[in-house]
Amino acid sequence: MLNYLIRRLGYALIMVVLVSFVSFVIIELPPGDYLTQKVEQLRARGDRSAELQVEMLRVRYGLDKPFLERYLNWAINFLRGDFGESFEFERPVSDILGARLGYTVILALATTLFTWLLAIPLGVYSAVRQYSIGDQIISVISFIGLGMPGFLLALIILYFSIVVFNLEVTGLFSPEYRDAPWSVGKVLDLLSHLWVPALISAITGTGGLIRIMRGNLLDTLGQPFVEAARARGLKNRTVIWKHAVRIAINPLVTILGAEVFPSIIVGSSLVAIVLNLPTIGPVFVDSLRKLDMYLAGTCIVFLTIMLLVGNLVADLLLAWVDPRIRLE
Amino acid sequence: MSTIPATQLTTAPQDTRRTLIEVRDLKVEFNIRGGVVKAVDGLTLDIKCGQTVGIIGESGCGKSVTARAILRMVPKPGKITGGQILYYRVPRQKKLAGSNEVEVIELTKLDPDGEVIRQIRGGEIAMIFQEPMSSLTPVYTAGTHIHEAVSLHRLLPLKTVGDQMVERITQYRKVTREEAREIAVQMLRRVGIPKPEQRVDSYPHQLSGGQRQRVMIAIALSTEPDMLIADEPTTALDVSIEAQILDIMRELQQTANMAIMFITHNLGVIASMADEIVVMYMGKQVERAKVVDLFYNPKHPYTKALLQSVPKLGPKTGQRLASIEGMVPDPLHLPTGCVFHPRCPAFIAGKCDRHVPNWVQVGDNHWVRCLLYEE
Amino acid sequence: MAVATAPSSVSLVKKKELGQSYWDLVWYRFKKNRLGVLGAVLLFVLYFSFVVIPEFLAPYALENRSRYVEAPPTPIQFLDEEGRFQAPFVYGLERRVDQVKRLRTWVPDTTKKYPVALFAQGDEYMLLGLIPMNVHLFGLQTSDKDARIFLLGADALGRDYLSRILYGGRLSLMIGLLGQFLTLALGVTLGVISGYYGGPVDMFVQRFTEFLAAFPNIPLFMALSAAIPAFWSPITVYFMLTIILAFLGWGGLARQVRGLVLSLREREYALAAKSFGASDRRIMFRHLLPGTMSHVIVIATLSIPGMILAETALSWLGLGLRPPLTSWGTLLQDAATVRAIRFTPWLLWVVPPILLTILTYNMLGDGLRDALDPYSGRG
């Protein structure tokens, strides 16, 4: 167990290092990004203060240093909490992302919760009542869920809320709470807004997860230990939940880390763009469009770290639910 | 319990050899794509307390389906389409109270997920399966499995406070967690698992195949059932472990006066276990006899062929082993007349392929389904 | 076929099925899956309409601008003002300022009627890029150059939105196929090699795919496509985008193929081929590859919609295809703003074809999986 933990943790750390490296490559990749543009503009002015500014930028970003050194410089600063400067906003990246990071995590967690609360009962029902009307309906819905990327669903919901109901579903807060300090009221307001994007982002993942749960459970229901459990005189419900579902859910935990969580992070970022939520997603896209690369790179690192943490949590969860891994 | 219409109370004299299960003309069909497979077609047998009935036949002959039909666990899309399975039951509470009142329950009429059949399953008729490797739920310990069965079916008398003799204790309680654990350890010890106090907390993947099958037997017997259905319990095991498992079963049967329905395709195993043997072929029973009669005086050509295919030591050593000619027929397109006729060495043209043989008695408790023995 | 749980009848059923050839059986099972067949048929119709003959189906050319900026859809009329039944026609459009909403809109001008006709003559085009034609499925039969039929409204440049959706489908649908083709080539080759040889190639493939999987995919797409220089020609951008999609997408496929090859290479027939002295390449691609085909087909079918969606999302965010290229994604760019939804909601008509495409691919893929996967019999 300890071995397993250390291995997973080590793996995650190595990934973080690699990911940060790739992110830095991405930061440096686009020709004509903000930094180069700015330096060129300043050089073109050619006056004394401009020279000084160029000099400052040169030192801060190590423009004359080799690539590897620049990366190390950036990485060390990153660890210190200095993520560089957003050229578009002319503010430190940490200022811009600060609060958004928290909302991104909250949104991802809420979405994960919805996904599981929807997918597992529906998947179980679908498998237990295979070929029933309910199963067929769930199959169709999960098909549509599979085919319904969150951002398009968000668009459709936006359409109905604006055109048909004349409602506001964008944002995470009502106007009166947007800049208010934290209070019970603000938390409740957040929750009353949060469920819309969370549910929308959840729909996509749910479709696939229902299918997987159904398939796994059908496989498991054919296993001898299920028949053996039934032969012990257990209630049908106990056989299904305590024996079959309990086993069928194990691979789902892995899928949660490897597939569901990533798609939730991506999906909720796109939904956040449509619904204009104060999460990382909209800032990230904006920064890419404007080639504000330090902001964009930091966003990628954070999104990826979220993913890796999600993976790690799924690994731990798997060890917790599966003695075959725990006792290895 | 008597509110269930399929239940009626009768009284029978105490008899250790009383009939426990009576199967009459059982038919089980699987409605699959392409037609109907008659998995069991007209099976009749009875099993008495303390007796071992062996069912033997090639894979696909319907023996496992028969076992599952008794517990009402025929997998979809299979269905019991005819016949009766009667269970002469002494309910657990009455038995504990010393009563021998027998209820006759028609198992074939019960709701397959209902209360009554669930009390019977595991509690009064237990079953062990062919695949010891996968018959235990991987995430639960051996102890948890036993606890599950015991807490459902084992009842302990509820102690009443009083100074006079209590003749009939009418109330019972379920076992507690600690008691269940104790029972689990006891059972594991009885089936010969070393260090049962530790093994009770082992997960299936930590046990060997033989140990898992022992655990399965421990689970099945922990509820003190009246009958054990063993569906090829040793097929997946090594021969040496097989012998140990069979010893355990025999020993436990003797101490508990338990009936056993032993399903196998292994003639050697069945000879050492069974009192009576039913031979099945393509869903039909072709011969039924006491074990000695069957082995020394087989009647049906299929039984004869089966016996000849067993390797023997003795004067005939050195001969080629006999095998049964031909292939198992397509269950969707069974041969006309006697289903065995295309492979039968005693085939009579114009007779065996036209007439369906009847179930005829040829000796003391010796029945056969073959036109050779019909007038 | 729940009989798989019936210990005694399962072997019998298997035997029965083995009587037919594998692909016969696949075809039989696929035909039985109504959703799968429906998916296949719809997909064919979709590709035929959007890729092969959009010029014919669209009433106007892609860049046919008009003065009707952001005109709402013009419904086809069958009844005139007095309620008499007539041959189908549309009214002309007239500029009007909506006093309540304080915005300018277009309203029907009932003084002008233009008959709608099937196979009307209109903008010139080359059918299949070969045959010059000017006949469209439908159009207005009028000499008035200003007359327009906008079944799904018009965009900010007065272009017929239905026509744009039809043309836009070509790029969006093709990027899925092209990208998947590249993915297949990369994923299958590397998967087979890494499964067969193991060793360093395998290490590389394994670690690299793990590494790619660690990234959230769309953000990585976005970052990479943001790096495509803005001055490149649209068509180069299109191919770069396809390559990026494929480059990031082959990992999953390679892993699956690798796993299959790992198990197949120990099978008797592979060992037999080796003992006959067959070359590694022959064993890999003649003996092992076919064994993985059914899985590959299923995975490929099910991952095409992901590619189409990735393009759509990227272009929608302004990071993928750029005007003048027209794809569903670039169309979505105009449609997916709160302002657009409020004032020109008909631009959201681009969403249904996207959803339909994804749905049909999933239906087809699911049907194929059920038909191809021998273990899916119960599911």
Q: Give A246's contacts in chain B (Cβ within 8 Å).
A: 137, 139
Higher pLDDT, B211 or C340: B211
Closest residue in B to C5 (Cα–Cα): B75
Average pLDDT of A191-212? 81
Closest residue in C to A211 (Cα–Cα): C379
Using CA atoms, how far apart are residues A65 and A62, in angstroms rounded to an integer? Answer: 5
Nearest in space to B229 (alpha carbons), one of B82, B43, B54, B8: B54
Distances (CA, A) of C33 to A212, B232, C45, C236, C373: 18, 37, 19, 41, 14
pLDDT for C379: 33
Amino acid letter, residue B261: M
Distances (CA, A) of A29 to A22, A40, A67, A134, C227: 10, 17, 12, 51, 6
Checking if the pLDDT of C325 tops 90, the result is no
pLDDT for B16: 66
Amino acid letter, residue A90: E
Using CA atoms, how far apart are residues C298 and B375, in angstroms rounded to an integer? Answer: 62
ipTM: 0.84
Q: Give A327's contacts in chain B (Cβ within 8 Å).
A: 203, 205-206
Contact B210, B109 (CB under 8 A): no
Three-state DSSP class for residue C378 = helix
pLDDT for C15: 44
**pLDDT tens, residue by residue, B329-371:** 888 888 888 888 888 888 888 888 888 888 889 988 899 998 8
Of residues B75, B122, B139, nearest to A246 (C-beta): B139
Q: Give C304's contacts in chain A (Cβ within 8 Å).
A: none
pLDDT for B12: 42
pLDDT for A315: 82
Average pLDDT of A202-224? 84
Using CA atoms, how far apart are residues A145 and A139, in angstroms rounded to an integer? Answer: 10
Count CB pairs under 8 A between chains A and B: 75
Orientation of helix C351-372 relative to helix C34-47, angle to 10°: 130
Q: Which chains have 3 or more CB–CB distances shorter than 8 Å to chain A?
A: B, C
Least confident of A3-7, B364-368, C40-44: A3-7
The chain-wide mean pLDDT, for chain A, equals: 81
Nearest in space to A73 (alpha carbons), one of A63, A57, A62: A62
pLDDT for C306: 82
Measured in angstroms, the CA of B334 and the nearest CA of chain C are apart by: 12
Question: Is B65's CB within 8 Å of C6's CB?
Answer: yes
pLDDT for A300: 84
Closest residue in A to B145 (Cα–Cα): A229
Contact status of A224 with chain B (Cβ, < 8 Å)? yes
Q: Give B61's contacts in chain C (Cβ within 8 Å).
A: 8
Quote the DSSP letter at residue B24.
E
Contact A275, A170 (CB under 8 A): yes
Q: Which of A129, A219, A225 to mutate to test the interface with B (most CBs of B within 10 A)?
A: A225
Quote the DSSP letter at residue B300.
S
The CATH T-level fold of domain B19-274 is: Rossmann fold (3.40.50)
Question: Is A155's CB within 8 Å of C351's CB?
Answer: yes
pLDDT for C378: 36
Average pLDDT of C43-48? 90
**pLDDT tens, residue by residue, C179-228:** 888 888 888 888 888 877 877 878 888 888 777 777 777 778 888 887 77
Checking if the pLDDT of C288 tops 60, the result is yes
Contact status of C100 with chain A (Cβ, < 8 Å)? no
pLDDT range class, residue B262, cuts 50, 70, 90: very high
Three-state DSSP class for residue C314 = helix
**pLDDT tens, residue by residue, B283-328:** 888 999 999 999 999 999 999 888 887 776 666 556 666 777 777 8
Question: Is B122's CB within 8 Å of A232's CB?
Answer: yes
Contact C90, C170 (CB under 8 A): no
Of residues C2, C8, C15, nearest to B62 (C-beta): C8
Q: Which of A28, A37, A159 to mutate to test the interface with C (most CBs of C within 10 A)?
A: A159
Instruction: Find where tokens 């469009």 sit.
Output: A289
Which value, in Å, is the radius of gyration of the alpha carbons in chain C?
26
| Domain C165-371 sits in CATH 3.40.190.80 | no
Question: Is A232's CB within 8 Å of B134's CB?
Answer: no
Nearest in space to C11 (alpha carbons), one of B140, A206, A188, B61: B61
Using CA atoms, how far apart are residues B123 and B203, in angstroms rounded to an integer? Answer: 23
Nearest in space to C260 (alpha carbons), one of C300, C285, C293: C293
Using CA atoms, how far apart are residues B193 and B190, in angstroms rounded to an integer? Answer: 8
Contact A280, C218 (CB under 8 A): no
Q: Where in chain A are the domains?
A: 34-82, 101-321
Using CA atoms, how far apart are residues B132 and B183, in angstroms rounded to an integer? Answer: 21
pLDDT for B142: 92
pLDDT for C50: 87
Contact B151, B174 (CB under 8 A): yes
Checking if the pLDDT of A156 tops 90, the result is no
**pLDDT tens, residue by residue, C73-125:** 887 777 777 777 877 877 777 777 777 766 777 777 777 778 877 787 777 77
User: What token pair was written down for B266?
Assistant: 């292994």
Orientation of helix A293-321 relative to helix A261-275, angle to 10°: 140
Contact status of A218 with chain B (Cβ, < 8 Å)? no
Of residues C4, C318, C363, nearest to A222 (C-beta): C4
Contact status of A229 with chain B (Cβ, < 8 Å)? yes
User: Before C73, cis peptide (omega within 30)?
Assistant: no
Contact status of A29 with chain C (Cβ, < 8 Å)? yes
pLDDT for B69: 92
- DSSP states of C103-136: EEEEEEEEEEEEEEEEEEEEEEEEETTTEEEEEE
Of residues A18, A29, A222, nearest to C378 (C-beta): A222
pTM for the predicted model, two decimal places = 0.77
SS (H, E, C) A122-148: HHHHHHHCCCCHHHHHHHHHHHHHHHC
Residues 6+ apart with CB under 8 A from C28: C20
Q: Give A214's contacts in chain C (Cβ within 8 Å).
A: 379
**pLDDT tens, residue by residue, B119-150:** 889 889 999 988 877 889 988 999 999 999 98
Q: Is A63 left (phi over 0), alpha (psi -120 to 50) or beta?
A: alpha
Question: Is C8's CB within 8 Å of B64's CB?
Answer: yes
Give, for C76, the enclosing helix (H) or strand (E).
none
Measured in angstroms, the CA of A234 and the nearest CA of chain B are apart by: 7
Closest residue in A to B229 (Cα–Cα): A231
- DSSP states of A143-207: HHHHH--HHHHHHHHHHIIIIIS-----SSS-HHHHTSPP-HHHHHHHHHHHHHHHHHHHHHHHH
Checking if the pLDDT of C21 tops 80, the result is no
Measured in angstroms, the CA of C75 and the nearest CA of chain B are apart by: 50
Q: Note the CATH number of domain A101-321.
A: 1.10.3720.10
Contact C85, C78 (CB under 8 A): yes
pLDDT for A34: 62
pLDDT for B23: 92
Q: What percent of chain A has pLDDT over 90?
A: 4
Give, for C292, the enclosing helix (H) or strand (E).
helix C289-316
pLDDT for B129: 86
Q: Where in chain B is the domain with CATH 3.40.50.300?
A: 19-274
Residues 6+ apart with CB under 8 A from A250: A318, A321, A322, B139
pLDDT for C5: 38
pLDDT for A296: 83
Least confident of A215-224, B101-110, C287-296: C287-296
Q: Give B77's contacts in chain C (Cβ within 8 Å).
A: 2-3
Quote the DSSP letter at residue C377.
G
Residues 6+ apart with CB under 8 A from C105: C72, C95, C96, C97, C98
Q: Where in chain C are the domains?
A: 65-158, 165-371
Using CA atoms, how far apart are residues B164 and B162, in angstroms rounded to an integer? Answer: 6
Give, for A41, the enclosing helix (H) or strand (E).
helix A34-45
User: What token pair was written down for C271?
Assistant: 């060992």
Instruction: Name the A residues in 262-291 with CB < 8 Å from any C CB.
Output: 262, 265-266, 269-270, 273-274, 276, 284-285, 288-289, 291
The chain-wide mean pLDDT, for chain C, equals: 78
Question: Is B332's CB within 8 Å of C16's CB?
Answer: yes
Checking if the pLDDT of C2 tops 50, the result is no
Using CA atoms, how far apart are residues B138 and C281, in angstroms rounded to an integer? Answer: 41
CA dihedral for B213, B217, B222, B228, sign (positive or negative): positive
Q: Which of B55, B56, B76 to mutate to test the interface with C (most CBs of C within 10 A)?
A: B76
